[in-house]
């Protein structure tokens, strides 16, 4: 019998990782084992945050891992970023979401499109977790179609006035700053840094979620918020801005979903070997073995997809369509494994002592945010045919 419980590495993908990658994986895995797994069920059941989560993630180097060291990042490669996301999501998608948003949706745009002053002012504090960031693209009337956004950023007397609303925003209720995308008077998409405390800026929480319950979600509301010119991201004036952030986050999600799937798979293997019915372990029955064999097959395929995508990303060659394929495939894979592995545990699968229901409910958000399952399929269809079906 192959011992895969510690690594879940059927195709020896470890041989493709650097020693640094493996060290990082171990440190994040240790953190998740000691700091997240013992408390995550309580946090999710009670809709509570993990205390000081962002400061802890910052201390681990999990915020902006690929941002250069001079701006407070860890200066790591994209495989390392993926591995960090995988290990965090083995704990919970809420933890990975917090790190994804901060890294790919807040630090990345400041690093890529920001001025030198903005980079120096915000990136080190975001990397340490002293500042919590959020990313406002989705609006009440525009989700899959952000090009139709209504939020306005209009120049007036040397500053800008922001009006509109963003919805379903991760970490909105607790953010110190928000990267907000809005249209200017020429209808161009601009990005700006909105700071908590600015007059007319509020962040009400979205309550009663069944998903990502250990993460805060909310709205960003702007009523004549005066934004100083130095808070505008100078190097972007089109949807390329938010889309490039989403590409980075979606890449990380493709790895993160593998972490959730592995957590479900390993729990199911252990349970199936221990639980006896009809005088034998349920792992001895072909129907249960079929499920376990398919889980491992799908996890292995997803691992190879994300690893290869990481190599392409390191080479600057990963295309948005490739990222769509990996995000879509891997999140769907993880959701199916969460559902099927829950069945292996029978009634025990529905209680919080085991992670399946929590992962399943979380992954219902993950399959919707950062581009829905259907939209990513249409992106692949567009790439094949050259015809947009949107």
Ligand X SMILES: Cc1cc2nc3c(=O)[nH]c(=O)nc-3n(C[C@H](O)[C@H](O)[C@H](O)COP(=O)(O)OP(=O)(O)OC[C@H]3O[C@@H](n4cnc5c(N)ncnc54)[C@H](O)[C@@H]3O)c2cc1C
* Binding site residues, ligand X, CB under 6 A: 101, 135-138, 143-144, 168-170, 212, 217, 365, 368-370, 372, 374-375, 378, 390
Task: Give the shortest CB-132-to-ligand X separation in angstroms.
Answer: 12
Packed helices 93-100 and 78-91: angle between N→C axes, nearest 10 degrees: 150
Residues 6+ apart with CB under 8 A from 33: none
Closest CB to ligand X among residues 79, 360: 360
Task: Give the shortest CB-241-to-ligand X separation in angstroms.
Answer: 13
> Considering only CA atoms, which of 93, 171, 98, 49 is closest in space to residue 363?
93
Closest CB to ligand X among residues 173, 355: 173
Task: Give the shortest CB-298-to-ligand X separation in angstroms.
Answer: 22
Closest CB to ligand X among residues 30, 145: 145
| φ/ψ of residue 276, rounded to 5 | -110, 135
Residues 6+ apart with CB under 8 A from 3: none
> Considering only CA atoms, which of 274, 194, 275 is closest in space to residue 230?
194
Closest CB to ligand X among residues 108, 168: 168
Kind and range of the H or E run holding 160? strand 159-170
Closest CB to ligand X among residues 144, 284: 144
Other C-beta atoms lying within 10 Å of the C-beta of residue 339:
16
Q: How far apart are CA 253 and CA 259, in angstroms?
A: 10
User: How far is CA 335 from its chain centroid?
Assistant: 15
Task: Give the shortest CB-145-to-ligand X separation in angstroms.
Answer: 6
Task: Give the shortest CB-344-to-ligand X separation in angstroms.
Answer: 27
Pair 93, 256: CB distance under 8 Å: yes
Closest CB to ligand X among residues 58, 136: 136
Q: How far apart are CA 343 and CA 131, in angstroms?
A: 41
Instruction: Output the CA–CA distances (angstroms, integers) from residue 20 to 81, 82, 230, 241, 331, in the order listed.
Output: 12, 13, 38, 31, 26
Say which DSSP state 52 is in: T
Other C-beta atoms lying within 10 Å of the C-beta of residue 310:
26
| φ/ψ of residue 228, rounded to 5 | -60, 150
Q: Check if 195 is active-site.
A: no
Q: E strands along 229-342, which residues? A: 276-277, 280-281
Task: Give the shortest CB-158-to-ligand X separation in angstroms.
Answer: 29
Closest CB to ligand X among residues 64, 303: 64
Task: Give the shortest CB-337-to-ligand X separation in angstroms.
Answer: 20
Task: Give the shortest CB-166-to-ligand X separation in angstroms.
Answer: 6
| φ/ψ of residue 221, rounded to 5 | -115, 130
Q: Which of 35, 87, 298, 370 is catalytic?
A: 370
| φ/ψ of residue 360, rounded to 5 | -60, -45
Strands 177-183 and 159-170: unpaired
Q: Which two tokens stand for residue 373?
A: 């399952």
Report the residue number whose CB is nearest to ligand X: 143
Closest CB to ligand X among residues 231, 362: 362
Residues annotated catalytic, as ranges = 370
């Amino acid at each position: 019998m192959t011992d895969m419980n510690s690594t879940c590495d059927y195709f020896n993908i470890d041989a493709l990782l650097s020693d640094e990658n493996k060290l990082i994986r171990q440190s994040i895995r240790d953190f998740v084992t000691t700091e997240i797994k013992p408390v995550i069920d309580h946090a999710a059941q009670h809709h509570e945050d993990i205390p000081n989560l962002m400061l802890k993630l910052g201390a681990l180097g999990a915020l902006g891992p690929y941002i250069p060291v001079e701006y407070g990042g860890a200066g790591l490669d994209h495989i390392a970023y993926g591995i960090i996301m995988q290990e965090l999501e083995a704990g919970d998608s809420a933890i990975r979401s917090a790190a994804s948003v901060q890294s790919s949706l807040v630090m990345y745009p400041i690093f890529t499109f920001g001025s030198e002053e903005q980079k120096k002012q915000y990136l080190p504090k975001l990397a340490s977790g002293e500042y919590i960031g959020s990313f406002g693209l989705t609006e009440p009337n525009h989700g899959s179609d952000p090009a139709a956004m209504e939020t306005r950023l209009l120049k007036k007397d040397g500053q800008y006035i922001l009006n509109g609303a963003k919805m379903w925003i991760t970490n909105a209720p607790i953010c110190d700053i928000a990267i907000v995308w809005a249209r200017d008077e020429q209808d161009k998409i601009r990005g700006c840094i909105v700071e908590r405390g600015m007059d007319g800026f509020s962040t009400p929480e979205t309550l009663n979620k069944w998903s990502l319950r250990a993460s805060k979600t909310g709205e960003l509301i702007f009523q004549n918020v005066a934004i100083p010119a130095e808070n505008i991201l100078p190097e972007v004036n089109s949807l390329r801005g938010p889309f490039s952030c989403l590409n980075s986050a979606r890449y990380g999600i493709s790895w993160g979903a593998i972490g959730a799937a592995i957590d479900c798979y390993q729990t199911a293997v252990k349970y199936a070997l221990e639980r006896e019915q009809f005088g034998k372990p349920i792992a001895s029955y072909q129907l249960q073995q079929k499920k376990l064999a398919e889980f491992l097959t799908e996890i292995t395929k997803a691992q190879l997809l994300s690893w290869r995508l990481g190599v392409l990303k390191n080479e600057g060659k990963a295309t948005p369509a490739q990222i769509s394929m990996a995000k879509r495939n891997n999140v769907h894979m993880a959701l199916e494994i969460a559902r099927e592995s829950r069945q292996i545990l029978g009634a025990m699968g529905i209680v919080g002592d085991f992670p399946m229901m929590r992962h399943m409910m979380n992954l219902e958000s993950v399959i919707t945010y950062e581009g829905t399952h259907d939209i990513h399929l249409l992106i692949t269809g567009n790439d094949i045919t050259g015809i947009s079906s949107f």
